[in-house]
Amino acid sequence: METEAEAARAQAAEERRKQKEELNKKDKELFFSSGAHGQQYFTLKRVIGRGAYGIVCSAMNTVTGEEVAVKRVTKILNSPSMATRILRELKFLRLLMPHENIIKIKDVLVPGDGEKFNDAFMVLEIMPTDLHRLLNMKTKLSGEHVKYLMFQLFRGLHYMHSCQVFHRDLKPNNILINKQCDLRICDFGLARAMFENTAEMVYWTDYVATRWYRAPELIMAYFTNYSTAIDIWSAGCIFAEVLSGGKPLFPGRNQYHQFELITEVTGRPPPEAIERLRSEEAKRYVTQLPVRPRRPLDQIFPDADPLALDLLQQLLAFDPEKRISCYDALQHPYFNEYRHLGLGTIGTPFPPEEFDFEQKVNSNKMTPDEMRLEFLREIAHYHPKEVHELLRPQKGAYTFSDAAHLAAQLDDELSMKDTKRSTRTLPKEALTELSSRSTASYRSTTMSEAELRKEGGLR
């Protein structure tokens, strides 16, 4: 017999469901309110993500018949930091698109008003779920599922690193998966490209990565420049979480607790690693930690494949200089049966001028109109036939003399937009519990950090 408390909980749950349904209906009605050319070709289906900066809807492209995710990011020009982050992510999405293990951006819609727009509309491939949600479902990943997912993760990372791109915030929420076990890396809002003259590199890497997946050199700041090894550590933490069925390996409450949990597994760092710490306080703290040997991983993961644990140990090397690279990880015997699939597209470093706008923003030399032009230049990559119209001078606020040159460049790039992906679906077992109702949240630029913490995305 239903108690009063159970009835009250059921009523409250029903009220929340109705409120959410009403909110979703309102959000769908207002989704294209700021206007975008081509919006008439998308039939919105349902809201799949919402945050402080925008909203994401699943939609049907009525021209191609394809289901996609359309992300509306609002108020992109309200602050230099917001504009920089969104434009940076748009660039990474385009530049990294050739690899099949990176989320594919299909289009950025042309704003309805080129002179006053303050929203951006991105069209992305849609994936049913992310790794965080998958690990919290009833679906139990087989050993082959785990191996194939990790193989794809390292393929995507290898491509990024060959382009000298640091993801800087790898975590299960940022790894999208579909029913066929295909994997995509997403969320490049904190990513950075490294160039030979990247003098600020030590500065900007101190403030990245969700704590549980943060490399020790980011927790206790080193004197040395950071490397792509920070992503390798994060991948190792993700691997460990998958092997445990969803239990994070290092769920630290703060940076000191995080570091203590790490050293319980890796052992206390060697003297040469301690000496490279920038902070004297950090040195004292680490020196006072109890001397511990490395904990055998087979004690933590007694049922795991020994080859998986051998790879994991190399991924979680405390010293970043001794941490295995993505390429070497892909050559590890653990992945022998998938090596015939190859590495996929191999990248090259991006032209530094792609990110020249950041220096202007940082030195306060870019006006809102100039930043708006930078967005239009980026949008023009998806609409090469409209480049002259998109980049025409706007009421004398700025001039743009090389539209013809950019048009030729965009014609060359058009083939990249239609890159065919050839990842084979392995293993053949489908993840049967994934459905369209478990769609990933696509929160990369739609939620503030405070909201992400509230939702469990930031720890």
The per-residue pLDDT for range 215-238, each reduced to its tens digit, is 988 887 654 567 899 999 999 999
Indicate if the pLDDT at residue 160 is higher than 90.
yes
Indicate if the pLDDT at residue 394 is higher than 60.
no
Q: Which residues are annotated as a binding site for ATP?
A: 71
Indicate if the pLDDT at residue 91 is higher than 80.
yes
How would residue 410 be classed by pLDDT, with cut points 50, 70 and 90? low
In angstroms, rounded to a whole number, what is the distance separating the alpha carbons of residues 347 and 254?
A: 36
The residue extents of the domains of the chain are 27-127+356-417, 129-347+431-455
How many CA atoms within 13 Å lie on the side-chain side of 412? 6
Residue 225 confidence (pLDDT) = 64
Task: List the catalytic residues.
Answer: 169
Q: What is the mean pLDDT of the chain?
A: 81
User: Domain 129-347+431-455 - what CATH class?
Assistant: mainly alpha
Residue 227 confidence (pLDDT) = 87
Q: 76-104 in b/e burial notation, b at 16+ Cβ within 10 A?
A: bbeebebbbbbbbbbbbbbbbbbbbbbbb
Containing H/E element for 174?
none
The fold for domain 27-127+356-417 equals: Phosphorylase Kinase; domain 1 (3.30.200)
Residue 51 confidence (pLDDT) = 67
Cβ-contact 177, 135 below 8 angstroms: no
Q: Which residues are annotated as a binding site?
A: 71
Percent of the chain with pLDDT over 70: 78
Mean predicted confidence (pLDDT) in 174-199: 86
Q: CA angle at residue 188 from 34 to 366, to 5 degrees? A: 60
Mean predicted confidence (pLDDT) in 133-162: 94
Query: What percent of the chain is helix, strand and coil (3-state, nearest 5)?
Result: 45, 10, 40
